């Protein structure tokens, strides 16, 4: 499957179609791992992303551990504050990277990854419990439309986990 190129408007429309479908898919399932697996698959099917998945916080180990994902094999552990994922966790914010070669400390699980977006996944009390990580084989793939809807999606995931 190849990455799907959409206009801003078409990308927003696809998210608007997808998010209610994902909400319906996961709202009656309380197991977070199962929901993350289905969300990864749904995002892959909808957008053809090169890599899409989750890294989960292991607080006592002060690192992220690989969770459900779709795409090539990936590094299994990322230290707090390292890479794009560890930085998103540390700073508690979404990060859009137009060109991974310009991000100091970027962790290249695949040499084919050229741009990335990482969105924190939060628990009910607002603490970061993991991150959604999406990689593209092209630079400049992700923008504010992705950030807005992927943050909405992460809120839907956390609502289902209550
Ligand atoms: N690029 C990420 C590492 C995860 S792989 O992309 C799946 C980072 O720099 O944190």
pLDDT tens per residue, range 70-118: 999 999 999 999 999 999 999 999 999 999 999 999 999 999 999 999 9
The mean per-residue pLDDT over the stretch 25-46 comes to: 96
pLDDT score for 7: 84
Q: 159 pLDDT band (50/70/90 cuts)?
A: confident
* CATH class of the domain comprising 8-160: alpha beta
For residues 9-20, average pLDDT = 96
pLDDT of residue 118: 98
Cα separation of 120 and 94, whole Å?
6
The 3-class SS string of 48-80 reads: CCCEEEEEEEEHHHCEEEEEEEECCCCCCEEEC
Ligand 1 atom, smallest distance to 103 CA: 9
| Ligand 1 pocket, mutate which of 135, 141, 142 (most atoms under 8 A from CB) | 135
Give residue 63's pLDDT: 97
Looking at residue 161, its pLDDT comes to 73
Percent of the chain with pLDDT over 90: 88
Mean pLDDT, the chain, whole residue set? 95
Q: Which of 109, 99, 102 is nearest to 69 (CA)?
A: 109
Domain range summary for the chain, segments of one domain joined by +: 8-160
Res. 61: pLDDT tops 80: no
For position 160, what pLDDT does the model report? 82
Residue with the smallest CA separation from ligand 1 atom 3 is 107
Reference 89, options 118, 60, 123; nearest CA is 118
Q: Are 105 and 83 spatial neighbours (Cβ–Cβ below 8 Å)?
A: yes
Residue 130 and residue 137: Cα distance in Å, rounded? Answer: 23
């Amino acid at each position: 499957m190849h990455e799907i190129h959409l206009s801003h408007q078409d990308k927003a429309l696809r998210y608007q179609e997808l998010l209610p479908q994902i909400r319906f898919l996961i709202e009656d399932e309380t197991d977070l791992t199962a929901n993350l697996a289905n969300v990864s698959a749904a995002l892959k099917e909808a957008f053809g992303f090169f890599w899409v998945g989750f890294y989960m916080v292991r607080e006592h180990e002060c690192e992220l551990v690989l969770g459900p994902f779709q795409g090539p094999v990936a590094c299994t552990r990322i230290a707090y504050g390292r890479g794009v994922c560890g930085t998103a966790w540390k700073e508690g914010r979404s990060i859009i990277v137009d060109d991974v070669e310009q991000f100091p400390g970027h962790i290249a699980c695949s040499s084919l990854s050229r741009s990335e977006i990482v969105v924190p996944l939060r628990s009910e009390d607002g603490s970061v419990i993991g991150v959604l990580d999406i990689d593209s084989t092209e630079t400049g793939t992700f923008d504010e439309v992705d950030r807005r809807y992927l943050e909405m999606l992460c809120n839907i995931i956390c609502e289902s986990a209550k």
